Amino acid sequence: MAKTIEPISSWQNGEEKEATVFVLTSSYDNLSTSANFNYQLNQLIPTPPNPPTPPMYPMYNTLVTGSLIISGQDYLDWDAATDANEWAYNWAAGELKLTIIPD
């Protein structure tokens, strides 16, 4: 699962590039009080016109990686959320000052 975000500039190998894809995964959850999320801010690699074999899924260039820890009331709110994945994405985007573009 990934979310489209308003473009974020990142310096990569001597060039300014724009991340437009936000990927969030849970890497640890003690099932009680805290969890760890890993995130990526990615640049979408356009598919060339008429490729010999179209890719099975979008291709990305990862520009930024990091992690976030959720705990306290935020953890409780995430646990109680009707759509925990959507809640987690919105929480993480807020922590990182990202704007998710609705589908």
CA distance 95 to 46: 28
Stretch 25-48: mean pLDDT, rounded?
Answer: 94
Stretch 12-30: mean pLDDT, rounded?
Answer: 95
Stretch 26-54: mean pLDDT, rounded?
Answer: 90
What pTM, to 2 d.p., does this model score?
A: 0.88
Which residue spans within the chain are E strands per DSSP? Answer: 3-12, 15-29, 34-45, 59-71
Band of pLDDT at residue 36, cut at 50, 70 and 90:
very high
What was the pLDDT predicted at 38? 98
Quick: pLDDT tens for 42-98.
999 887 777 777 776 778 899 999 999 999 999 999 999 999 999 999 999 999 999
CA distance 43 to 64: 10
